[in-house]
Amino acid sequence: MSVYSRFPRLFLLVLIAILVIAPFAARFLSGTTEVVVSTAGGQVHAEVHGTSLDLPDGALDQTELLRLKLPTLAQLSVDPASSSLYWQPDTPGSGVLDPVETVGDWMQGVRPPSEWTSASLSDVTTATYRLKGGRALALLPLDTGDGSGVVLLVRPERAAFSWWTLENGQPGHQLNSVSYRPSGAVSLSDLAAEVALIAWAAALLGVLAWLASLLLSRLNARPASASAQTEVSQSRSPRFLDWLSRPSNPPIAFFLAGTILASFVGLVVLDGIPHVQDDVAYLFQGKIFAEWRSWVPAPPAPEFFQSGFIQIFEGRWFAKYPPGYPLLLVPSLWAGMPWLTNALSAGVALALIYMSGLRMFGAHVAAWAALLGLISPWVLFMSASYMSHPTTMMWVALFLFALVSLRLSFNTDKRVSLLSVHSRWGLLAGFAIGMAFVTREWTALGIGAGAALWALGDITSARRDMFRRLVPYSLVVVGFIPPLLFLLFQNHELTGNWLRLAQDLVGSYDQPGFGPGHGSEIGHTPAMGLYNGLVYLRTLATVFDGWPAPFALAPLFLGVLAPFAARSRKQFAWDLLLWLPLAGLLLAYFAWWSSTTIYGPRYWYEGMPFMLLMAGRGFDLLGVIAARALPAARAAGVRWAVPGVLFGILSVYTLTQSLPDQANTYTDYNDISVQPLEYVQDAHLTDALVFVALDPSRRNRDYGKAFFANDPMLRSPVVYARDMGAEANRYLAGLFPTRKPYWLPLDGPPQPGVGP
C-alpha cells in the first residue's frame, strides 16, 4: 500500500470546486469605481470618491467648451490588460523565448478584464459612470465632435485620475492630475477578487498534479519485465537526495548562493551605491558608528548638507532611523564593502529558512522554500540595496529558527534551568527579535505579537508540562533586553530622552496609527489601510518568485491549504507558527499610512521566512498529490519530480523575463547613477569642496547621489555640498579655507570655482 493512499479525496473535490467557482467569484467581487463628470456652467470637472479635479482654465476656449459632449457607454474604453502597472512585461526580441512570453501573457490574462459597465446621464451636463475592475487604464473622452477635446484618464489601481488633451481621438498631453482616497468597500472587494484568482491558480496546479497522479498510477500498474524489476530494486536513490541527507550541505550552499547572487545584483545593477533617501541615511549613520560615536557635530552652514531623513538636533547630526541596521554596517564599512552586509543577510536568512523548514516539515518543504527565495526577484534586489529590510528579515529568520529549536528541545532536555538547552534557545529567540526591534520597531512588534500568541498556545496545550515550557518562553523577554538597552542608550544620546525615538523628531506623520497627522494632514484611515494592502498584494505577485501573476502566489495559497489536506494534525502547530506572526505583520501595516513600494511591497518583506515556508508547503503538496497512488519505492522520486518540473518550467520565466525586467527597472534607479562620483574620481581631486548641482524638481533626492560619499566628520579628500548659487557657495568655501572649491554640473566633470 502507498504511504500516500490515504490522501483525502474530499480535498481534491474542494480544489475542483475552487477551479469552477473562483473565476466567477473574481468577476463578481471586483470593485466598482464611480466617476461623476459635469460640464455645467462652462466648467468641466470630474469627481471620484469625493475628490474633484477641474479642467484647468485655458485648456479649451469657450467655443470648444460649449461643443463638449458627455460620452455614452459605447464611447468609453479601457486600455489592454498590459497597461496595468502590475503587468509583467516581456523581454523584447528574445526570439527563441517567444513561447515563454506567450505562456506568461496567458497566465496573466486569466483575470477578468476591466470594463465600463454603465453610464447614466442625470441631464445633458452631468453623468455618472461605473468602472468595474480597474486593473488597466480607463479612458473617458469628452469630444467636441471633430476628434479633439479632453479625456479623463482613470487609474483605480493607483487611486488617481487626470485630465489630458484629446488629439485625433487619442490622449495628447497631461493637463493635471490628482490622487483620491479609495473607498474601503471597493478595496476590500478588489482584495477578495485577487485572493479568488490566486485560489483559482492554486486549484489548477493541484488538479494538474492529481491528473499526473492518475497517469503515473496507470503506468505503474503495467507489468514490468523481470530485468526491469531487478533494476528498480537495485537502484540507488538519486545523488541529490544523498546530498540533501547531509545536514550541513544545503544550508552552506544556500548561504553561499544567496550571498553571491545578491552581491552580483548589488554591484552590477545597483552599482554598489544607495538609490533611496532611506539608504543614504542608513549609510550615514553606519559611518558615524564606525567612528565609535552615536552622533557627530552639526556641520557649518548646515543648509548646504541637508539630506532627507538626516536630522540636526541641538548641534547633533545623525540619521532618524533605528540603530540596528547601521550597527551591522560597521564591519563592512571598515572592510570598504558596505554593500556586503545585506548580501550576507540574504545568505544567512536562506540558510536559516532551510534549517527551520527541515525541522518543521522535512527536507522537501525546506528545499523548495529556500530555492524559491534564491530565485525571488524580491529577495535578490532588496538584498542588493542598502535598505534595512534584509537585515531585519535575517533576524526574523533567526527568531523563527530559535523558536522551532526551542519547541523541539522539550523532547530532548527535561531540565528546567537557565543552563538547559531550551533556555538557551529562548534567550537567542529574544535577542533575535530584539535586534529586529531595534532595526524596524513596528515590524518586530507585529511579528512578535503573533509569535507570542503562538507561544501562549504552545504553553497551554502542554497541560502537564506547562511550567517547563513557561520558563524558557519567558526567557525570550530576557534575551530581548540587551538590544532594547542599546536602543534606549541611543535615544538618550540623540534626543536627550531615554524614551524618545529619533523618528519622533519629525512628528507623527511617520508613525503608525489612524487619524490626522499620520502620513498627511487628513491622516490615515482603515479604508486606506485596505487600499495599501491591495497595493502590497498586487505588487507581491510580481516579485515574490518572478512567475506571472496570479500563479506567482499559487504555491503560497496551496501552503495555507496543506494542513487541511493531511489526515494528521501533528504539524499543525508549525503551520500556526507561520500564520500568526505573518498575520501580526500584515495587521501592523494595516495601521501604517504609506503604500510605497520600493523593490517590492517592502513593509511585508520581513514576512518572507513565513511566506517562503508556506510556499514550500504548497510545492510539496503538489508532489504529495501526484504520488498519492504510487508505492513508496516510486512515490519518493515522484514527490520531488512533479513540483521540480513545475519549478523548472516557471523559473525559466523568472530568469528570462522577470529578472531582466527588474534589472532594467532598477538600473540607475530613482535617476541616481554612479556617474557623478566617477567624474570626481577621474579628476583625482584632493582637499576639495564640491558643490553638487541639483535637479530643481527633486533637489533632496538628487543630492543623495553624492552626499552618501561624505565622511560624517567632513575629513575625506572630497566633501560634497549642495549648490545654492555662486554667492552662497562662496560663503561656504570661506568656511573651508584649506579646500579648493569645485562645481559639479548635472552632467559632466567637476569645474573649478563655486559655480556659474
Decide if pLDDT at 86 tops 50.
yes
HSE toward the beta carbon, residue 731, CA cutoff 13 A: 11
Q: What are phi and psi of 216, to 5 degrees?
A: -65, -35
Least confidently predicted of 318-327, 508-517, 591-600: 508-517
Name which of 337, 328, 340, 346 is nearest 254 in CA terms: 346
Spatial strand order of the sheet with 296-297 comes to 296-297, 316-319, 310-313
Residues 534, 593 contacting (CB under 8 angstroms): no
Residue 417: partners with Cβ closer than 8 Å, 6 or more residues away: 423
Cα–chain center distance at 656: 21
Which H/E stretch holds residue 688?
Answer: strand 688-692
Cell numbers at residue 11, please? 480535498
% of the chain beyond a pLDDT of 90: 73
Q: What mean pLDDT, rounded, does the chain reach?
A: 91
What is the average pLDDT across 350-365? 96
Give the separation between CA 676 and CA 705, rounded to whole angstroms: 8
Query: According to the model, what pLDDT value does residue 243 have?
Result: 64
Residues 487, 325 contacting (CB under 8 angstroms): no
pLDDT, tens digit (0-9, with 9 covering 90-100), for 663-704? 999 999 998 999 999 999 999 999 999 999 998 888 878 899
Decide if pLDDT at 290 tops 60.
yes
pTM (predicted TM-score)? 0.94
Query: According to the model, what pLDDT value does residue 631 have?
Result: 81
The band of 244, judged by pLDDT with boundaries at 50, 70 and 90, is low
Binning the chain into helix, strand and coil, the percentages to the nearest 5 are: 60, 10, 30
Residue 450, Cβ density class (10 Å: 0-12 exposed, 13-18 middle, ≥19 buried): buried
Cell numbers at residue 743, please? 562645481
The band of 222, judged by pLDDT with boundaries at 50, 70 and 90, is low
Which H/E stretch holds residue 54?
Answer: strand 51-54
Decide if pLDDT at 211 tops 80.
yes
Cell numbers at residue 325, please? 541596521
Number of other CB atoms surrounding residue 47 within 10 Å: 17
Decide if pLDDT at 229 tops 50.
no
- DSSP per residue over 301-351, as a string? SGGGG--TTEEEETTEEEESS-SHHHHHHHHHHHTT-TTHHHHHHHHHHHH
Decide if pLDDT at 1 tops 50.
no
What is the average pLDDT across 588-616? 96
Q: Where in 5-48 does DSSP place strands (E)?
A: 32-38, 45-48
Decide if pLDDT at 239 tops 50.
yes
Q: What are phi and psi of 314, to 5 degrees?
A: 50, 45
pLDDT, tens digit (0-9, with 9 covering 90-100), for 301-310? 999 999 989 9
pLDDT, tens digit (0-9, with 9 covering 90-100), for 410-435? 877 666 555 677 789 999 999 999 99
Distances from the Cα of 641 to the Cα of 1, 36, 212, 350, 624, angstroms: 21, 55, 11, 22, 11
Least confidently predicted of 47-51, 146-150, 316-320, 585-589: 146-150
Query: According to the model, what pLDDT value does residue 238 have?
Result: 57
Residue predicted with more confidence, 5 or 484: 484
Query: According to the model, what pLDDT value does residue 65 have?
Result: 87
Residue keyed to cell 487626470: 162
Number of other CB atoms surrounding residue 308 within 10 Å: 16
Residue keyed to cell 532598477: 666
Name which of 329, 233, 332 is nearest 283 in CA terms: 329
| Bond prior to 550 in cis (omega within 30° of 0) | yes
Decide if pLDDT at 148 tops 60.
yes
Decide if pLDDT at 2 tops 70.
no
Query: According to the model, what pLDDT value does residue 675 have?
Result: 94
